[in-house]
Structure 1
Amino acid sequence: MLQYRIIPVTPFQQNCSLVWCDQTNKAALVDPGGDVHLLKRAVADVGVELEKILLTHGHLDHVGGTAQLVQELQLPVEGPHKEDAFWINQLPMQCQMMNFPLVQNFTPDRWLEGRDQVSVGKEVLEVRFCPGHTPGHVVFYHAGRKLAFVGDVLFAGSIGRTDFPRGDYDTLVNAIRQQLWPLGDEVQFVPGHGPMSTFGHERKTNPFVADHRFG
């Protein structure tokens, strides 16, 4: 079964997730935004073998540790959707804007599309294309655990910002309702920031995407 540990990183306290297959001990980091020393320590503490990096989108606080991990550990990178090359190519500029130490841009080994699958050991996660916060945002969903890693698409009580370049509010709301809600109310999700929640709870209470707002 898929196991996971959430590791908050960077001054933005972004939720990086270490996920692993308990049959094979193979692991991946979802959105390694920075503080690579903390991420490597978590991998060592759990005692797993890191085999890849999975990215939901191209914002600095979610990908800032990627180039260093690739350089040090020769890991392949999967995701996000190719539309987020727009953001990854601007990583040095993002660092300057956010007053972060300079990080290098990179090219993922595999761009992802909706309905693609990614593997971690023997475990398989389904890819959902959920643009709006960024144009190439994806979500990773594990059916067996009923667990989703949603990046900055959805939060407990809120949704991702859409005031960045190429963000779009209506696109984001539609992606949440069309790509995430059909997975089931019982699905738990790890957001890019803050506490976990369930799709069902957000459908009832989230002021941006609750069902009652849409008749």
Structure 2
Amino acid sequence: MINDATPPLKAAIVPVTPLQQNCTLIWCTRTMKGAFVDAGGDLERLKAAAAQHGVTIEKLLVTHGHIDHCGGTGILAEQLGVPIEGPHPDDRFWIARLDDDGRNYGIEGRAFEPDRWLDDGDKVTVGDLELDVIHCPGHTPGHVVFHHAPSKLALVGDVLFQGSIGRTDFPKGNHADLIASITGKLWPLGGATAFVPGHGPMSTFAHERASNPFVADRVIAA
């Protein structure tokens, strides 16, 4: 029985692929409808996680077009009969090369066409939940972040990590854009906001502003 003490959103992190990418299962506790964010691979493990939590998957969300984040997304969408939303269309070229990248990385990958491309300021729904879409280019040009303000939770993909930031040496990566995305779009969400990165442990924006060697306030001010 859902009561006032039950949070509206729950999440479970399921590391997938040899690159240990954090696929996140998020769900609406009132409806038990959910979504996977960045279903990169290990699809049977993902389906088992949804079943374990009693969640019905209604869509797949994608932060960006790299193989470890969305190589399995098209396959899973087909298996479940659900739509794909994201990323921003500037990552179309990454998604188009998923088959080739899959072979190169030893990860099953299939190119796909999202049912909905996303842009800055868009909203996505999961059950009764509404998440804000924030376009955060730099790691890739079409990278987006999903933010659920009532839960103070952001799913940031490879923009920011605990103690690090995303790589910008990939095609169309841009270091200045990445720093601007973090400081101009993520920090204003509030220091108490916790985030799930694309790899590694969770952190908060306040912790990273205090200690991250790339984007801490003292580093940016220097």
The verdict on a shared fold, with TM-score over 0.5 as the criterion, is yes
Q: 1:9 aligns with which of 16, 32, 36?
A: 16
Q: 2:70 aligns with which of 44, 47, 63?
A: 63
> Corresponding residue for 2:207?
201
**2: CA distance between counterparts of 1:150 and 1:53?**
15
Q: 2:127 aligns with which of 111, 121, 132?
A: 121
* Runs of 4+ in structure 1 over 6 Å off: none
- In the alignment, structure 2 segments of 5+ residues that lack a partner are 1-7
- State the one-letter code of the partner of 1:140: F
Q: 2:36 aligns with which of 1, 5, 29?
A: 29
**1: CA distance between counterparts of 2:72 and 2:81?**
13
Would you say 1:149 and 2:146 are equivalent positions?
A: no
**1: CA distance between counterparts of 2:184 and 2:100?**
33
Which secondary structure state, in structure 1, belongs to the residue aligned with residue 151 of structure 2?
coil
Aligned length: 214
Q: 1:77 aligns with which of 67, 72, 84?
A: 84
- State the one-letter code of the partner of 2:190: G
**Aligned-pair distance for 1:214?**
2.4
Which secondary structure state, in structure 2, belongs to the residue aligned with residue 204 of structure 1?
helix
**1: CA distance between counterparts of 2:130 and 2:181?**
22
- State the one-letter code of the partner of 1:183: L
**2: CA distance between counterparts of 1:197 and 1:34?**
24
- State the one-letter code of the partner of 2:177: T
**2: CA distance between counterparts of 1:104 and 1:61?**
11
**2: CA distance between counterparts of 1:181 and 1:27?**
27
**Aligned-pair distance for 1:73?**
1.1
> Corresponding residue for 1:51?
58
Q: Deviations over 1:99-155 (max 9, x none)?
A: 324x22000000001111000000011011100000100000000110000000000
**Aligned-pair distance for 1:156?**
0.1
**How does the TM-score come out when normalised to structure 1?**
0.98
- In the alignment, structure 1 segments of 5+ residues that lack a partner are none
Task: Give the superposed CA RMSD.
Answer: 0.8
